[in-house]
Amino acid sequence: MSTTLTPPWYKQRWPWLLMLGPAIVVVAGIATLVIAVQTNDPLVNDDYYKRGNEINEDLGRDAAAAQRGLSAQMLFADQGGAVRVLLRQQGSQPLPDTLTLSFQHPTIAGHDVTATLKREGAGSYIGEVKLTVASKHWYVRLQDPADSWRVEGQWTPDKGNGVMLEPAR
């Protein structure tokens, strides 16, 4: 008579293989919890009504830029260096001596960068920008110091070192 001894359950591979799935889920859940607790979510605004009114005011700046026929071309020398902006307008209103150029990260407000550009010639402005992170996409906004108008666009560094900025529609 031959008897085969079955090893105990913990020495077989099937129970361990079956427990591997739930163990991975537990580890992933703990990792997700740690990430959620340690990072700050700056995307949520508490005062929705006030922000809605600010958006309506912002639309007036776009209309003012469209009324003046403003558009601009931004040219980057390299990512994190000199920026040149060529500002065009219809009409003969005086252009300001400085402009504010903002690079806004699509999801993390802490990565936003703002630079002041100085007039170099007729409609030509130059400045220095240090981008803190290498993002694949940026929202670019150009506005005057009085915040009376703005032009904006979307810049993808992989697609070139320049972008056209126009009033939002």
Mean pLDDT lowest among 2-6, 34-38, 147-151 = 2-6
CB-CB contact of 136 with 142 (8 Å):
no
- Map tokens 């601009």 to a residue: 72
Q: What's the pTM value of the predicted model, to 2 decimals?
A: 0.68
Region 123-147: mean pLDDT is: 88
- Map tokens 């703005």 to a residue: 150
* Residues 36-70 pLDDT 10s: 999 876 665 566 666 666 666 677 888 888 888 99
CB-CB contact of 129 with 113 (8 Å):
yes
Class of domain 69-165: mainly beta
**Does an H or E element contain 15, and which?**
helix 13-38
Region label for 15, one of left (φ > 0), alpha (ψ between -120 and 50) or beta (otherwise): alpha
Beta-carbon contacts of 107 under 8 Å, excluding residues fewer than 6 positions away, are 43
**Could you give phi then psi for residue 7, rounded to 5 degrees?**
-65, 155
